[in-house]
Amino acid sequence: MESIERAPSVPEVVKKIYQSGFKLNISRLDAAYLMGIHTYLEIQQNFILTPSELERIFAIVNDISSGMVESLPQRFNHAINRLLKNQLLIRVDGGGLGQMPQFDVSALGKSIIGHLSHHETLNRQNLTIIAAKIVSTLSDIRRSLDSSGSDHFWEESVRLPLKHVVAELITAIEKRQKGLDLEQDEVRNKISRLLDKDWLEALVACEELLETTSTTLQELYQTLLSENSAIKQGLNEISDAADQSSQPRVLAVIDGIYLRLDQLEQWGKERVGSWSQYYRRVNDFLQSIVRFDPNREMSQRLVEQIQHYPKSPWFLNLLEPPVYRTLKETHFPGNKKKVTRVLSCHADIEEEDDDGNLVLDLMIEEIKQRLASSQSVDLVEIIRPFLKEHSLSRVYPHIGTLIDLVLKEINQHPSRSSSWEKPLEDLEFELQNLIADLK
């Protein structure tokens, strides 16, 4: 069985091209001359050029580039030699054996002309047409699989159509991708130029460009996914048959097509994603800047302030409010005890309420005595004896009442302790103390 063709390695290709001595150096004048030759051939519907025709075309290039008329013949000969040396123009008279030299544009020259003249962009229509041709070719290959199984059949009826027809059609899609990329660049440049001129006039035009391009990319990506799915379905059937017939050369071509289809999908996904980000940034700029400052008054004032800063310095005032330090930083223990409560009968609750009111009366009486005798008021010191005699549940609910009473009676801001204190060491309770020195 014939072995699979080995693809050349990178070092082999680099060495071959380097040793060939090929160089490409095309100037602006040579590019214009090449385009002039191409246009002349299209108008005349002829693919052979004589030296006199080439000289007439070069005279136009010389006139546009403001070249010297006296040296036209010499400059014309130099231009022809450069195009021949760069393999952009070729002799078609037997390599110089003919009596009258004849010239034509080479394949390399035509590629450069195609790049300079126009860029075919990928759209929904041409993508659908090309994909339909691919699917049709795959259908023909699938139908022919039942006719023969010889190696010659797999080579002539399967591998070569896959390699030269399907692969070339995918190449056509890839070329149009590059055209669409260039078109997106042109749209972005156009938006930049519009925003540089007049914001208000550019606003609607920019929004329309953004919306149109975004819709086009979304439709194109959805079409690409749909068509790729149909193409891969046809390839799967051919791949299964080639695998059963042990045709590694066919399987290698199919794997290459699979890879390029995956790259097409990834390209579409990346373009939609990158354009979505650009759409969002520009739209935010239009809404928050252009609509907010249509006459550029704020931006112009800001530019002027920055330019004149050395002569008239200005500063930014920042609010720095004081930190509120009466809140305690909470530390959660590792093992937290469960909160439990013993249910009491109605009579016990009434008894606790009575005791609580009694405790409150006693604490209020203590504070009033201290105020009357102009003694210092220390909240922790006052409630500590009551916590020794009564439970925390009977004392704690009245602490807020005591604080209100102290603040109303002394008519001044008491000194506050920034630390939290335990009234009793064996009690899991902390209180931020309130101290009022009345002496």
Same fold, 10-117 and 124-300: no
The average pLDDT across 81-90 equals 87
Quote the distance between the C-alpha of residue 387 and its chain's center. 65
Judged against a pLDDT cut of 50, whether residue 346 lies above it is answered with: no
Find where tokens 């990834």 sit.
Answer: 266
Would you state the pLDDT for residue 347?
45
CA–CA distance, 420 with 438 (Å, rounded to integer):
22
Computed from CA positions of residues 384, 389, 393, 395, in that sequence, does the dihedral angle turn out positive or negative? negative
How far is it, in rounded angstroms, from Cα 295 to Cα 228? 49
pLDDT recorded at residue 324: 57
Is pLDDT above 70 for 212? yes
Q: Which CATH superfamily is domain 124-300 in?
A: Chromosome partition protein MukF, middle domain (1.20.58.590)
pLDDT category at 295 given cuts 50, 70, 90 is low
b/e map 333-367, b = 16+ CB within 10 Å: eeeeeeeeeeeeeeeeeeeeeeebeebbeebeebb
pLDDT tens digits, residue range 400-430? 787 777 777 766 555 555 567 788 877 777 7
pLDDT of residue 331: 63
**pLDDT tens digits, 11-67:** 888 888 788 777 777 888 888 888 888 888 877 777 788 888 888 888 888 888 877
Higher pLDDT: 138 or 338? It is 138
CA–CA separation, 231 and 132 (whole Å): 9
Rounded Cα–Cα distance for residues 223 and 236 (Å): 20
Q: How many CB atoms lie within 10 A of CB 185?
A: 10
How many angstroms separate the CA atoms of 188 and 210, rounded?
9
What's the pTM?
0.46
Considering the chain, what is the average pLDDT of its residues?
76
Q: What CATH architecture applies to the domain 10-117? A: Orthogonal Bundle (1.10)
Q: What is the pLDDT of residues 118-176, one digit of tens each?
A: 555 666 677 778 788 888 888 888 888 877 678 888 888 888 888 888 887 787 777 77
Listed by start position, the domains of the chain span 10-117, 124-300, 346-436
